[in-house]
Chains A and B, each alone.
Chain A
Amino acid sequence: MGVLDSLRNLLGRGPAQPDPEALAREEALKARLRERCARFRRLLSANKAALEGMSEAEALLSGGHPFGMDAVRALGTRVGASVYQMVRELNALSGNAYPELNDAFRRVHASVEACLARREHEEDVPLILPLADIRLQHMPLVGGKMANLGEVAANVGMDVPEGFAVTVAAYERFMQHNGLRDAINQRIQSTDLESLDAVFSLSASLQQLVQGASLPPELESALEAAVADMQRRLGPDLRLALRSSAVGEDGLGVTFAGQYRSELDVLPEEACDVWKEIIASKYSVTAMSYRFQRGIPDEAAPMCVGVLSMVRAEAGGVAYSRDPVAARQGREQVTLNAVPGLPQAVVDGGMTPDVFTFSRTNPPELLERQIAVKPFRLDCAPGCAQGVRRTPLSPEEGARACINDGQALHLARLALALEEFYNEPQDVEWALEMRDGASCLVVLQSRPLSESGDTAEAGRAEPLPDSIPASAILAQGGMTVSGGAAAGPLFVARKDADMLSFPKGGILVVERAHPRWAPLLPQAAAMISETGGMAGHLASVAREYGLPALFSLPDACSLLADGGMATLDADRAVVLRGEYPELLAGHEKPRNLMQGSPVQETLRNMAEFMTPLHLLDPESPEFAPASCRSFHDITRFCHEKAVELMFGENADVDQRAGKQLKAGVKLQYWVVDMDDGFSGPVTGPIVDLRDIACEPMQALWAGMTAVPWAGPPSSGAAGFMSVVFESAMNKDLESTAPAVMAEKNFFIISSKYMILQARYGYHFCTVECLAGDNQHENFVSFQFKGGAADAQRRERRARLIAELLEAEGFRVDVRKDALFAVAEGYDKQETLLRVRILGYLLIHTRQIDMIMLEEARVAAYRAKFEQDIAGLKTK
């Protein structure tokens, strides 16, 4: 039975002789159809959402934009949920014809979940490990700082403070005991980590959460016992230093420099509370922004804490076995920074230290000695903030070198020995302690040096080019802590609140090079500080981010207060008013910090189960649920089968409620209204074009009929082809004529949505469009495949159409003779214009595959198409 007979049987009686039974049947069919259309449409929109999520994953993987673990998890969930929707809808449409799709989904789902699963730490890790037992291989359990310290003590034979590590197991136990992990993840997931404002309030709430939690009893007693043991050995005056020791810094060039808190001069009985404070510091603004920028998920950064006996430092500082900034300029040297008292003033960037430089020879030779005027010293003092007291120094005291040359030489040797042991340059934090009247060098930590981000060649610090007038110099001097040059508006930040108004791409100017400014660095073009040296945490972070930075520039805040546009050339240690492209040339953009990060790796692993498409050919026996290996495979299968169900040979839509389209005469198109696509109730089997309230369909139709079709190109096959062909314009082919080849052209519409499934001769095509007021949802897509000519000509035609569509802002993918094009995100009118253009091409590119090997004629056709499209745009 033909399509028309079916329709006549069903609907042909017309309203004149109402047959209640037939009407009821019709109503029931319509209701069923509406439901099926809604399901089909949901399947299509889930398909679109899934494919969007997949391309988002690909974009994240290729871009340098930071993203968090929550974004990865959300992406996996969104794509997976959409795919599951498709499976559900297809099975509902098909009467559960594909139960094995559920198995396929669960298989892929399990793989995705496995990628997302947190790496659990082994159960039998002790809560506490004595420093004497710690070696490098314990890094995943005790963090980098403590593992290195243990190794240095045991195998390099250096003095280190006594103490123990509170391990990752203790951290996990604590989080678990208080249900913190879920609570924290939930809050992080609902925060936009790129908004500093939001991070500030998130940080406050998370730190409060951690500090309000209680230690599991077994941890509390283990910690107390370990401290009591230290006290027995070291005496009742024992004071502790609790130092954060982050896990996950190895192997990525991730330093966590100054991200986490350390607490000095802690009374033994305070150890438990202070341990919790250090855990809470994991959620400082600085640390959270840093992890986000570096692609380190929260759960990949468990916190370990070193509990060490407090060193009474006479002097302290940082030693670089190979100064990275000097190395950039072609000088190989050991650089030592020293301040009186605790080394904190060096790492916090709060003071310009004494600097000693040595050759990297054996023995090292003293090259230079710069003694600064130190305004104060820091010492341990219980009861003061972070256990530290600040004592002002007289100019005389302050001008005195805080270590002598012999001590400096000893330190240089020690730094080189550590480099030799680790086989890479080291950044060593040290303290000089008086023990029984003799000075003793104690290593507080040793870690690999972060490289200067800018990989410029050596010896770049040439004089300024002549083109730059001396009057442009705003400030000059200071210390290059991270090389390169950049331009941007100057911004002096004095208090935390200033962070929120920092302009993206600005040059940050601060008084003290304190690590709390680190969250601004990803947004900054460059930074300048009045104090601080190369060894400070902020300098390390600047180098890590590849950000030009100039420190210890006197009076920078007042000299640079005007906020105008400026250029910092850190290599030449000069700040200039205005923008100087000649100085900026050759400085590459900061590297992609996400590269190789745990978050990116997780996404990459997960994407393996999301984006690859293995199901290519619907005719192949492999095109089956059992062969689905990715979410993409499942979407492909569901889409293909759903279209088949709705429109294929055995589809039931054509025999149900489609109304034949009439525009003057009856045409070979059937229209199904799934919602509000008709302007009013339409009874009977025919709908007039004038009653179509679907804007995309009207636009398509306008395009199809805008330019009369001249008929198929003349060729040997034209006689046969012209019979096959049926045009919207061809009045000779009314529906009463016997169909030579059954055409199946269907529109499913609502007022702003349309899908056309059509077959023009040998070409199958689908046009789908959503054009509403919500611009970000709008799209128009076009797919076709097939043709009457040989494969080569069909492919050439597909490529010609692809080029025409690309010129109109479509993304086009051509595979053999199949073409897939989509334009999205345009406003309603722009979207409808593209639908008109598609309508035009639909009609006019038919059968030109026959002439695709005749170049002159192809060129002529192309010219005509382009001219006609230009005409469509002016209408």
Chain B
Amino acid sequence: MRALFVDDEREFLELMEKRLSRRGIEVSTAHDGLEGVKAVEEAAAAGALPDVVVMDVRMPGMDGLEALRRMKAVAATLPVVLLTGHASLGVAVEGMDLGAFDYMLKPVAINELILKMEEAARAAG
């Protein structure tokens, strides 16, 4: 499985890269919404979209919801899981309305996250 992680917390990204690659998941990273959208656009142009995107909501510059909107415009079936430390039901609902596969809260157990990523990838594929 190939996953794109979009998050402004670099430590979190490093941790995910380390822990997920150990389980055979190929992780690429982006540090804010805009960078994430660019990554998706480039992947779409190359015909190699990731299997799943895991994205933070609150990020400087372009936030996760706006990035989600733009990603869906590029690749409507791309599964995006929102993963945030900011608990807000309003944001969760907005995200799901924009087509997010699910909304999860940090901190998340790594196994739970992987199950969700697999489920999202399966649902799309």
Contacts and interface: CB of A to CB of B under 8 A. Distances in A.
Interface residues of B, number: 20
Contacts of B90: 109, 113
Contacts of A42: 119, 123
A186 B89 contact: no
Nearest to B90: A113
Contacts of B71: none
A42 B118 CA distance: 13
Contacts of B122: 38, 675
Interface stretch (B29-37, B44-52, B100-108): B100-108
Interface in B64-111: 85-90, 92-93, 96, 102-103, 105-107, 111
B27 to A, nearest CB: 20
B123 A190 contact: no
Given A84-B96, A85-B96, A112 B89 contact: yes
B2 interface: no
Nearest to A183: B58
A83 to B, nearest CB: 10
Most buried by A among B87, B103, B119, B123: B87
Given A80-B93, A88-B96, A189 B102 contact: no
A80 B92 contact: yes
Contacts of A185: 86
B92 A77 contact: yes
A74 interface: yes
Given A42-B119, A81-B102, A85-B102, A74 B96 contact: no
B92 A84 contact: yes
Given A78-B105, A81-B102, A186 B86 contact: yes
A581 B115 CA distance: 49
Nearest to B111: A774
Interface in A73-101: 73-74, 76-78, 80-81, 84-85, 88
A194 to B, nearest CB: 13
A182 B89 CA distance: 16
A189 B92 contact: no
B80 to A, nearest CB: 14
A655 to B, nearest CB: 24
Contacts, number: 58
A186 B88 CA distance: 11
Contacts of B115: 774, 777
A77 B102 contact: no
A830 interface: no
A70 interface: yes
Nearest to A72: B87
Contacts of A76: 87, 89
A749 to B, nearest CB: 16
A628 to B, nearest CB: 16
Contacts of B105: 74, 77-78
A81 B92 contact: yes
A15 to B, nearest CB: 27
A751 to B, nearest CB: 13
B58 A186 contact: yes
A189 B85 contact: yes
Nearest to B85: A190
A70 B87 contact: yes
B108 to A, nearest CB: 11
Interface string A183-216: 0011001101000000000000000000000000
A712 to B, nearest CB: 43
Contacts of A192: 107
Given A38-B122, A190-B106, 12 more contacts: A38-B123, A42-B123, A74-B87, A77-B89, A77-B92, A81-B89, A84-B92, A109-B93, A113-B89, A113-B90, A182-B58, A189-B85
| 10 shortest interchain CB distances as A-B pairs | A80-B89, A81-B92, A190-B85, A77-B87, A74-B87, A73-B87, A77-B89, A81-B103, A189-B85, A74-B105
19 contacts: A42-B123, A74-B87, A77-B88, A77-B105, A80-B92, A80-B93, A81-B93, A81-B103, A84-B92, A84-B93, A84-B96, A109-B90, A113-B90, A186-B58, A186-B85, A186-B86, A189-B87, A189-B106, A192-B107
